[in-house]
Amino acid sequence: MSLDITTLVKKYDTPLYLYDFNNITNRYEELKDAFSGKKSLVAYAVKSNSNLAVIRHLANLGAGADCVSIGEVRRALKAGVKKYRIIFSGVGKRDSEIREALQEDILLINLESEAEMKRVEMIAVELGKEARISIRVNPNVDPKTHPYISTGLHENKFGVSIDTAKRMYIYAKKSEHLNPVGIHFHIGSQLTELAPITEACGIVADLVRSLEAIGIEIKFFDIGGGIGVVYDDEKTIAPADYAKAIISQIKGLDITILSEPGRYMMANSGIFVTSVLYEKVNGDKRFVIVDGAMNDLLRPSLYNAYHKIEAVQKEGEKTPADVVGPVCESGDFLGKNVELPPLSHHDILVVHSAGAYGFTMSSNYNTRGRAAEVAILDGKDYLIRERETFEDQVRLEESCDISWQE
């Protein structure tokens, strides 16, 4: 991002999320182009960054939305995503969520169990509707990623086995209120190797063929998300190779390829900006205490995830320091052993690759307001979420009657 961070910090203060919307455009176009020549839909995984301005930007480019709660479906609709490009996934959907998704007539409801299929059917009967469904298959493939973000093994809670899926398709085909048009898998996140994706794709494509043989025609082949990104110096998957691998596995099938990228679209489209409060040394350990914390960016604390951290316009000999926030937890850190020059009050640090699973995982822990979010498009900055105030945080408590305590 070629922009003057110091100026933006003066204008918006810290902690601050900054997103490069031109980079989002580039990521979208690159993936869409990789599938050119095939029928495809890129359904952006809203959970990675659900700011309305982000979703709207992608909707304007033609993207759909992959949602994991009715709240996300509502965000997608509000941001202008066409209902026929919205998918509703997730391992535990409430009746009210299923009902609303059916009433909104979105493209697909992704099913993750037989019990859920029965619920969806029941609600579709109640509404006199036919539910377009897809079934999430768990292909039992090791995605070779962090165990917390692995989802395609039988030991993970997601999806159903091939045998169960087949039984479900046969049931759904017979039902007057279920229309099984899709198949879905998502084996994990931050995938940096193609082989597991290719393998999963092959397994699921075989299932599609065996369903076709018994008269069940699948129209949407949903490959999930998971394309890895560069946080440090890892090698990852090029969209063109990704598409090629998938297309090679679905030869002979007349099918629309759905993809659900989140991290790929957003991680390196965003940075987290924080100001230095103090430096201190405990024994021979150097700490840089900043105004951003685990409540703003949880990934380091949650997954021990690496984010590159750099000082803005600051020279001097670099030595290792832990970059920590003010939250009262030892697990509250943004980086460990980060090589940084000597720093003083008001110096600015940039935490890179923070556009995905950054703001969306933020909380009010320690009664800290959520950070502001700013979009940069064609060199101009736009506030897309106000900094959260104390009043915002206590509103739902103040609206309750606590006079019984007086």
Ligand X SMILES: *Cc1c(COP(=O)(O)O)cnc(C)c1O
| Residues annotated catalytic, as ranges | 328
Q: Interface mask (CB under 6 A) for ligand X, residues 284-323, using x and -?
A: ----------------------------------------
Q: Which two tokens stand for residue 344?
A: 């003083």
The bridge status of strand 380-385 relative to strand 372-377 is antiparallel
Asked whether the beta carbons of 307 and 376 are under 8 A apart, the reply is no
Spatial contact of 203 and 249, defined as CB atoms under 8 Å apart: no
Q: Kindly state the smallest distance separating residue 204's Cβ from ligand X, in Å.
A: 14
Number of residues that bind ligand X (CB under 6 A): 17
Shortest distance in whole angstroms from residue 50 CB to ligand X: 12
Q: CB 23 → ligand X: shortest distance, Å? A: 16
Q: Which is nearer to ligand X, 66 or 347 (CB)?
A: 66
Our CB check for ligand X shows the closer of 139 and 262 to be: 262
Q: Which is nearer to ligand X, 1 or 149 (CB)?
A: 149
Binding mask 330-369 for ligand X (x = CB under 6 A): --------------------------x-------------
Judged by beta carbon, residue 12 or residue 221, the one nearer ligand X is 221
* Residue ranges in 51-184 assigned as alpha helix (H): 52-61, 70-78, 95-104, 114-127, 162-174
3 state DSSP class of 331: coil
Measured from the CB atom, the residue of 89 and 274 that comes closer to ligand X is 89
Q: How far apart are CA 62 and CA 64, in angstroms?
A: 7
Q: Write the CA distances from 33 to 29, 39, 243, integer angstroms.
A: 6, 11, 9
Shortest CB 226 distance to ligand X, Å = 4
The CA-atom distances, in angstroms, between 193 and each of 144, 241, 258 are 8, 11, 20
Count of other CB atoms within 10 angstroms of residue 394: 12
| Binders in 208-267 for ligand X, by CB under 6 A | 224-227, 260-264
Residue with smaller CB distance to ligand X, 300 or 355: 355
* In the complex, least distance from residue 389 CB atom to ligand X, rounded to whole angstroms: 30
* 14 vs 134 by CB, closer to ligand X: 134
What is the three-class DSSP state of 201? helix
Query: Measured from the CB atom, is 261 or 358 closer to ligand X?
Result: 261
Q: Whole-angstrom Cα distance, residue 302 to residue 205?
A: 34
Rounded CA separation 44/290 (Å)? 32
Taking the complex as a whole, the smallest distance from the CB of residue 136 to ligand X amounts, in Å, to: 7
Task: Determine, following the binding rule CB under 6 A, whether residue 113 of this chain makes contact with ligand X.
Answer: no
Per the CB < 8 A criterion, the answer to whether 136 and 159 are in contact is yes
**Residue 330 C-beta: closest distance to ligand X, Å:** 28
x-or-dash pattern for ligand X, window 170-209, by CB under 6 A? ----------------x--x--------------------
Closest CA to 265 of 31, 89, 1: 31
d(CA 61, CA 264): 16
- Give SS3 for 252: coil
Smallest gap from Cβ 66 to ligand X, in A, equals 5
Q: How far apart are CA 111 and CA 131, in angstroms?
A: 11
Residues 34-53 touching ligand X, rule: CB under 6 A, are: 45, 47-48
Beta-bridged to residue 287, according to DSSP, are 280, 322
Interaction mask 54-73, ligand X, x per CB under 6 A = ------------x-------
Tell how far CA 56 is from the center of its chain: 16
**Start-to-end CA span in the chain (Å):** 54
Q: Mask: binding to ligand X, 72-101, rule CB under 6 A, as x and -?
A: -----------------x------------
Binding site for ligand X (CB under 6 A): 45, 47-48, 66, 89, 186, 189, 224-227, 260-264, 356
